[in-house]
């Protein structure tokens, strides 16, 4: 079965396992859809199970390394050389040093190897803090402004002191209306109409009946 190789997550395969892996990859890349034989399917299943077991074994090795590192740290300063060696292996495997590791290295900075490991550990810790802060920061929200009649028109920035202000268009003068004709002056005949003459009296020679 494949076995973990080193502290960086590598994995070692045997010649037979590499043959199965190469055959399965070649079949996946072929354009034909011909099914695998029953024996080939069983080989692929066994290889997949072996890879899963190797991944679990790598996790167990990592946990053992961290437990061993804690034991060496608690035995400082007598375990200085072993602690520095284990810490460097853990950093190479992706370990993020905690406050206990940084405090122990600061106390041992008189040792040149410890001072170099401290500088490396501080860089890893700072990058880890920045990554966590970036992941926890909320995404910037876009402020939405709307008017009652629809979307808001974009606002233009006010011109600076040196920029000339745009002149507003002056309203065009409205065309003059023609003068309305005035009321005609009445004539004297309209103001003082002529008097009618009184009707003549009845004739005197007529006698009353």
pLDDT, tens digit (0-9, with 9 covering 90-100), for 31-58: 566 777 888 888 888 888 888 887 788 7
The helix/strand/coil state of 10 is strand
Closest by CA position to 117, among listed 126, 125, 109: 109
Interval 180-184 mean pLDDT: 60
Confidence band for 117, pLDDT divided at 50, 70 and 90 = very high
Residue 72 above 90 pLDDT?
yes
Interval 136-160 mean pLDDT: 58
- Partners of residue 12 on adjacent β-strands: 3
Q: What is the pLDDT of residues 125-147, one digit of tens each?
A: 999 888 888 888 776 665 655 55
- For the stretch 173-197, what's the b/e string if a residue is b when 16 or more beta carbons lie within 10 angstroms of its beta carbon? eeeeeeeeeeeeeeeeeeeeeeeee
The answer to whether the predicted template modeling score (pTM) of the entire model surpasses 0.75 is: no
How far apart (Å, rounded) are the C-alpha atoms in residues 101 and 105?
Answer: 6
Cα torsion through 94, 99, 103, 106, rounded to 10 = 50
Report pLDDT for 121.
92
Instruction: Give the CA angle between residues 49, 55, 56 to the nearest 5°.
Output: 90
């Amino acid at each position: 079965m494949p076995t973990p190789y080193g502290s960086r997550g590598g994995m070692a395969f045997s010649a037979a396992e590499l043959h199965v892996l190469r055959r399965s990859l070649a079949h996946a890349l072929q354009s034909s859809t011909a099914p695998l034989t029953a024996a080939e399917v069983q080989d692929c299943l066994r290889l997949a199970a072996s890879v899963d077991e190797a991944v679990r074994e790598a996790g167990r090795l990592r946990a053992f390394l961290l437990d061993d590192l804690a034991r060496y740290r608690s035995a400082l300063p007598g375990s200085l050389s072993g602690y520095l060696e284990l810490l460097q292996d853990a950093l190479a495997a992706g370990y993020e040093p905690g406050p206990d590791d940084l405090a122990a290295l600061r106390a041992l900075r008189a040792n040149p190897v410890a001072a170099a490991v401290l500088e490396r550990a501080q860089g890893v810790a700072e990058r880890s803090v920045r990554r966590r802060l970036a992941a926890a920061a909320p995404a910037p929200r876009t402020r939405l402004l709307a008017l009652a009649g629809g979307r808001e028109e974009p606002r233009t920035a006010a011109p600076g002191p040196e920029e000339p202000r745009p002149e507003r268009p002056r309203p065009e003068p409205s065309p003059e209306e023609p003068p309305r004709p005035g009321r005609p002056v009445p004539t004297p005949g309209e103001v003082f109409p002529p008097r009618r003459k009184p009707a003549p009296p009845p004739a005197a020679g007529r006698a009353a009946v």
